[in-house]
């Protein structure tokens, strides 16, 4: 077997990492590929406060696979804790079946000895059965992958017409005047969910913020008696992160043709052609007082209507299948991509994993 050298990526690897990411699409009924143009490393900032890219190089010094370890402060059992996020695992064609995955995970375990985190989380598309089978196989070199349910990514179609809805709340936008109140509200309500990100004021004001390209004016804030009762944000990341629809298979081929035939009569964006970039916005920073559906509904309708006619085809939302807020999202015309959400840990993290309480998980889709 060819000797592989595993190490941390260099800045000079930026272009090839992006190429591998693009060439290794996530296959399913709708296959998608991710891009991080113009820079993989720059786009990586939003995934964590600290990020490490592990690469494997063959004897010609070519990268044959990589994966990312990120660390960020999130809410665990109502308290702020640094937790890891494992993402972007890719192996190039010709090396996938040769057993090199063990060398990458052995290196990851060495990094884990820095004791910065106890556990990690990760998501795998349900259609990627090969990856699920391998990573949950409990082989000796792998950490434990604990399945904690389905994570739903919902792509809401933007109609050409706005949706009518009778607002009972006052909806305003974010500003420097109400930003501190927004951040406090997000953290207060976020602490009631498991894995909700912890934010500080500087996250939204610093020039070196990890929240690249987010403008505080894109917060939507619901007020009742001049008190904040709900917050969401819209985030256009296409300048540094792109999603490419690479193809359709099975029943989706038939559905796509039929759907696109009637889409223009319904005022709905058609499904993209293969190798087409998705024109989308993320719905982010979802924080709703007591998860009241009517509050979320008013905010989402307002954001939706503001996005119509602005060149977007979809708005993307990520929620755990146990989250009651999904009931609101299901009212919209949408496409759903299902993943499995895993807590990943070595033996030293099992106690921490077993102490997780039953709060509903919230993973911020815009930072995956």
Q: Considering the chain, what is the average pLDDT of its residues?
A: 92
Structural tokens at position 266: 């319904």
Angstrom distance (rounded) from CA 172 to CA 229: 12
What pLDDT band is residue 12 in, cutting at 50, 70 and 90? very high
Q: What does DSSP assign to residue 274?
A: T
Provide CATH code, domain 156-241+270-338: 3.40.630.30
Whether residue 265 is preceded by a cis peptide bond, meaning omega within 30 degrees of 0, is: no
Task: Please check whether residue 99 is in contact with residue 140, taking contact to mean a CB–CB distance below 8 angstroms.
Answer: no
Task: Please check whether residue 234 is in contact with residue 109, taking contact to mean a CB–CB distance below 8 angstroms.
Answer: no
For 123-127, the CB contacts below 8 A with 24+ separation are 123/151, 123/339, 123/340, 123/341, 123/342, 123/363, 123/368, 124/339, 124/340, 124/342, 125/26, 125/28, 125/337, 125/338, 125/339, 126/28, 126/150, 126/338, 126/339, 126/340, 127/26, 127/27, 127/28, 127/29
pLDDT digits (tens, 9 = 90+) for 131-147: 999 999 999 999 999 99
- Burial of residue 277 (CB within 10 Å: 0-12, 13-18, 19+) is middle
pLDDT at 350: 98
Q: Is the pLDDT of residue 32 over 90?
A: no
| Ordered DSSP codes for 34-76 | EE--S-HHHHHGGG-SEEEEEEEE-TTS-EEEEEEEEEEEEEE
pLDDT digits (tens, 9 = 90+) for 154-205: 999 887 777 777 788 999 999 999 999 999 999 999 999 999 999 999 999 9
Task: Please check whether residue 39 is in contact with residue 32, taking contact to mean a CB–CB distance below 8 angstroms.
Answer: no
What pLDDT band is residue 320 in, cutting at 50, 70 and 90? very high
Angstrom distance (rounded) from CA 259 to CA 73: 42
Query: Is 5-151+339-367's fold the same as 156-241+270-338's?
Result: yes
Angstrom distance (rounded) from CA 164 to CA 262: 22
What pLDDT band is residue 301 in, cutting at 50, 70 and 90? very high
Provide CATH code, domain 5-151+339-367: 3.40.630.30
> Per-residue pLDDT averaged across 319-337, rounded?
94
Angstrom distance (rounded) from CA 88 to CA 66: 7
pLDDT at 111: 98
> Per-residue pLDDT averaged across 299-309, rounded?
94
pLDDT at 254: 62
Phi, psi (degrees; rounded to nearest 5) at 127: -75, -15
Domain ranges of the chain: 5-151+339-367, 156-241+270-338
Q: Is the pLDDT of residue 276 over 90?
A: no
pLDDT digits (tens, 9 = 90+) for 77-115: 999 999 999 999 999 988 877 778 999 999 999 999 999
Angstrom distance (rounded) from CA 280 to CA 230: 23
Structural tokens at position 18: 């992006």
pLDDT digits (tens, 9 = 90+) for 47-76: 999 999 999 999 999 999 999 999 999 999
Task: Please check whether residue 307 is in contact with residue 299, taking contact to mean a CB–CB distance below 8 angstroms.
Answer: no
Please indicate whether residue 263 or residue 287 has the higher confidence score (pLDDT).
287
pLDDT at 267: 64
pLDDT at 259: 65
SS3 338: strand
Q: Is the pLDDT of residue 27 over 90?
A: no
pLDDT digits (tens, 9 = 90+) for 231-275: 999 999 999 999 998 888 877 676 666 667 666 666 666 777 888
Paired with 66 in beta bridges are 55, 90
pLDDT at 151: 98
What pLDDT band is residue 345 in, cutting at 50, 70 and 90? very high
Structural tokens at position 311: 């060149």
Ranges of beta strands (E only) in the chain are 5-8, 30-35, 50-57, 63-76, 79-91, 120-125, 144-157, 170-173, 219-224, 227-235, 242-248, 276-277, 280-288, 314-320, 334-345
Q: Is the pLDDT of residue 311 over 70?
A: yes
pTM, entire model: 0.93
């Amino acid at each position: 077997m060819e000797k592989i050298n595993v190490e941390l990526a260099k800045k000079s690897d930026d272009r090839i990492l992006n190429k591998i990411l693009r060439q290794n699409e996530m296959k399913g009924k709708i296959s998608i590929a991710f891009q991080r143009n113009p820079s993989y490393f720059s786009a990586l900032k939003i995934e964590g406060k600290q990020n490490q890219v592990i690469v494997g190089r063959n004897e010609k010094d070519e990268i044959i696979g990589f994966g990312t370890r990120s660390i960020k402060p999130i809410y665990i059992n109502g308290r702020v804790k640094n937790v890891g996020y494992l993402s972007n695992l890719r192996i190039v064609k010709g090396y996938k079946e040769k057993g090199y995955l063990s060398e990458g995970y052995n290196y990851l375990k060495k990094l884990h000895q820095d004791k910065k985190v106890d556990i990690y989380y990760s998501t795998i598309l349900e259609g990627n059965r090969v990856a699920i089978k391998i990573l949950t196989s409990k082989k000796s070199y792998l950490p434990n992958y604990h399945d904690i349910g389905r994570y739903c990514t919902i792509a809401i179609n933007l109609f050409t017409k706005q949706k009518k809805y009778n607002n009972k709340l006052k909806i305003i936008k974010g500003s420097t005047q109400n930003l501190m109140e927004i951040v406090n509200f997000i953290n207060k309500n976020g602490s009631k969910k498991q894995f909700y990100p912890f934010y500080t004021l500087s996250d939204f004001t610093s020039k070196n913020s990890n929240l690249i390209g987010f403008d505080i004016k894109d917060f939507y804030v619901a007020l009742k008696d001049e008190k904040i009762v709900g917050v969401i944000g819209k985030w256009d990341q296409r300048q540094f992160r792109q999603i490419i629809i690479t193809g359709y298979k099975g029943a989706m081929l038939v559905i796509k043709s039929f759907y696109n035939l009637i889409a223009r009569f319904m005022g709905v964006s058609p499904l993209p052609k293969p190798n087409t970039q998705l024109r989308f916005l993320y719905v982010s920073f979802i924080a709703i007082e007591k998860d009241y559906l009517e509050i979320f509904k008013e905010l989402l309708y307002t954001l939706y209507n503001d996005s119509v006619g602005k060149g977007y085809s979809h708005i993307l939302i990520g929620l755990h299948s146990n989250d009651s807020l999904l009931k609101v999202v299901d009212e919209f015309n949408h496409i759903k991509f299902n993943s499995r959400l895993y807590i990943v840990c070595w033996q030293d993290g099992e106690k921490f994993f077993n102490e997780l309480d039953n709060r509903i998980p919230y993973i911020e889709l815009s930072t995956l």
